[in-house]
Amino acid sequence: MAVVSNQAFSIVNFRRELIKDIVSSGVMVFAFAPDYNDELVRAVKEIGAIPVSVEMDRVGVNPIQAIRTVLGLVRAIRDLEIDAVLSYFTKPVIYGGLAARFSGVDSIYSFIEGAGYVYADGVGSTRRVILRKFISFLYRLSLSFSSRVFLLNRDDYSLFVGGGLVRAEKAILLPGIGLDLDRFNEQTPVVSPVVFTFLGRLLREKGVIDFVSAARIIKNKHPEVVFLIVGDVDVNPGSIGIEDLKAWGEEGLVTWVGHVADVRPWLAETSVLVHPSYYREGIPRSIQEAMASGRPVITTDSVGCRESIEDTVNGFLVPIRSPESIARAMERFIAEPELIVEMGRQSRRLAELRFDVREINEMVMAVF
């Protein structure tokens, strides 16, 4: 089997347990990605897969580059005599599906981990409307060859199945991609000072600016409260700039941690995760990790996010693009720190019910 991604780090970080389970079943797994370094090569080998470097950019739609990528994947699939292809993220799903079909592979599995910013609600610029139509055409073409298509929330199911991008009999709805709940274990939360953390790619659509605006509101009333941003700038055109991050730090609003290989130590220092996204998520990985660690969550009543938590049980749902609503939810935790403990316990309980990677992997592998 070839597992196709456009980011080597995600293979280790997001697909570690699935690959280990596939390998344990007796399948040889080749991990296709474009950006390997020595450390990631070692990490992929440690989980039992064989790293394969392929050409694939993460952003932009260049037809010539797309053709080169698909042809490169075809060569690799044929040279390695691949029997099945599993792809995730938009470009790998589209390019990997097409390359698998052109190579004569019949077993093709596609993970839709959120529709992304192209399909985000309220995004109506002419360029994005055209891009959305083009991506929809490519999805419809590529997914027509898929044996199964895994989706993570009902809004995406409606978009892809209801919108004719994939046939209903191929679609499988999963509760998430899953976590190793032993690795992400419950920890006693921090309650003094209260620490609010944003964790993820630093994209505007992920709500970073709204998080900082809410921090500014809270800091004026509660200067002792701590705000962390854990994540790095991105090649995505919606990325926050380093200049903005530095300016926020100099203003005393937030501490920018940058990219980390292991988020668990930072979740251990967190009271509440804040994920004010309107990106058109699948089921946000950061929310799953925070819940498994026993942390309450403030997130938006938006696609993928609203399915992640239970409002007022293990956190609060707020409207998108509303720093004031985020700040009001933060105020609840500041005024009632016992909520951090109680809602954190509920987060862990829900994570055990929904996000056990062993159970989710069984659902995935049952259709192979």
Residues contacting 31, CB < 8 A, separation 6+:
2, 3, 5, 8, 11, 19, 44, 49, 50, 51, 52
Residues contacting 257, CB < 8 A, separation 6+:
228, 229, 230, 231, 266
For 164-175, write each residue's pLDDT tens digit. Answer: 999 999 999 999
The model's pTM is 0.94
CA–CA dist 3, 222 (Å, integer): 47
For residue 129, the model assigns a pLDDT of: 85
Q: Three-class SS of residue 285?
A: helix
- Look up residue 327 and give its two tokens: 């700040």
For 236-293, write each residue's pLDDT tens digit. Answer: 778 899 999 999 999 999 999 999 989 999 999 999 999 999 999 999 999 999 999 9
CA–CA dist 280, 288 (Å, integer): 16
For residue 248, the model assigns a pLDDT of: 97
CA–CA dist 150, 139 (Å, integer): 13
Closest by alpha carbon to 231, among 273, 196, 201?
Answer: 201
From the centroid of its chain, how far is CA 272? 19
For residue 234, the model assigns a pLDDT of: 83
Q: Three-class SS of residue 297?
A: strand
For 307-329, write each residue's pLDDT tens digit. Answer: 999 999 999 999 999 999 999 99
For residue 122, the model assigns a pLDDT of: 58
For residue 74, the model assigns a pLDDT of: 98
For residue 121, the model assigns a pLDDT of: 66
Q: What percent of the chain has pLDDT over 90?
A: 91
Residue-range domains of the chain with CATH: 2-173 (3.40.50.2000), 195-354 (3.40.50.2000)
CA–CA dist 338, 346 (Å, integer): 13
Q: Report, as ranges of residue numbers, the positions in the chain whose pLDDT lies below 50.
A: none
Q: At what angle do helices 323-335 and 208-221 cross, to 10 degrees?
A: 50
